[in-house]
């Protein structure tokens, strides 16, 4: 085992990595659906993102029961904070927060904090899977660039 490797059970680690990959792909589809005004795809991808609260909560529970260092537990709490924020702003309150600069900036910071923690934890679980999560994040960035530049 490498010194920086996170010691979690294989099922918990795979749930985390799979949820991170699905998150990046689903957000990529949200950007593409927004670009092409496809409300069905937008709804499905958005719901997928919100439902990822479940696997990340399972992962949090696994990290706590496996007595993982507090810094990694805090990282998952940050991810869950973003997902709850998304649920609250988009689906419960349904406010146009993307049109309110202060809220939108806060939302973007929370998003990138969550994604950064997904990438970081994925690399600690397994280096190869960390690269897969990183590549899907670059796909997300490509879709975001396509949304606003083309």
Residue ranges per structural domain of the chain: 10-149
Q: Give the model confidence (pLDDT) of 30-54 as tens digits.
A: 999 999 999 999 999 999 999 999 9
Residue 90 is classified by DSSP as: I
The answer on pLDDT for 111 being more than 70 is yes
Give this prediction's pTM. Answer: 0.95
Q: Give the model confidence (pLDDT) of 15-26 as tens digits.
A: 999 999 999 999
pLDDT at 37: 97
pLDDT at 54: 98
pLDDT at 1: 52
Q: For the chain, how are helix, strand and coil distributed in percent, rounded to 5?
A: 85, 0, 15
Of 107, 138, 135, 142, nearest in space to 17 by CA: 135
pLDDT at 4: 75
The answer on pLDDT for 147 being more than 90 is yes
Residues 106-116, mean pLDDT to the nearest whole number: 98
Residues 77-96, mean pLDDT to the nearest whole number: 97
Burial of 14 (0-12, 13-18, 19+ CB in 10 A): middle
Of 75, 29, 28, 31, nearest in space to 56 by CA: 75
Record the tokens describing residue 128, joined without a space.
């190869």
**Cα–Cα distance, 13 to 25 (Å, whole number):** 19
């Amino acid at each position: 085992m490498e010194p920086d490797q996170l010691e979690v059970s294989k099922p918990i680690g795979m749930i985390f990595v799979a949820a991170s990959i699905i998150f990046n792909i689903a957000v990529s589809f949200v950007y593409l659906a927004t670009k092409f005004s496809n409300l069905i795809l937008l709804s499905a991808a958005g719901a997928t993102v919100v439902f990822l609260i479940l696997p990340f909560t399972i992962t949090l529970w696994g990290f706590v029961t496996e007595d993982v260092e507090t810094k990694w537990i805090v990282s998952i709490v940050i991810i869950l904070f973003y997902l709850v924020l998304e649920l609250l702003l988009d689906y419960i309150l349904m406010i146009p927060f993307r049109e309110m600069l202060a809220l939108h900036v806060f939302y973007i910071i929370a998003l990138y904090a969550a994604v950064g923690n997904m990438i970081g934890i994925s690399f600690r679980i397994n280096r190869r899977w960390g690269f897969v999560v990183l590549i899907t994040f670059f796909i997300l960035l490509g879709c975001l660039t396509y949304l606003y530049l083309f």
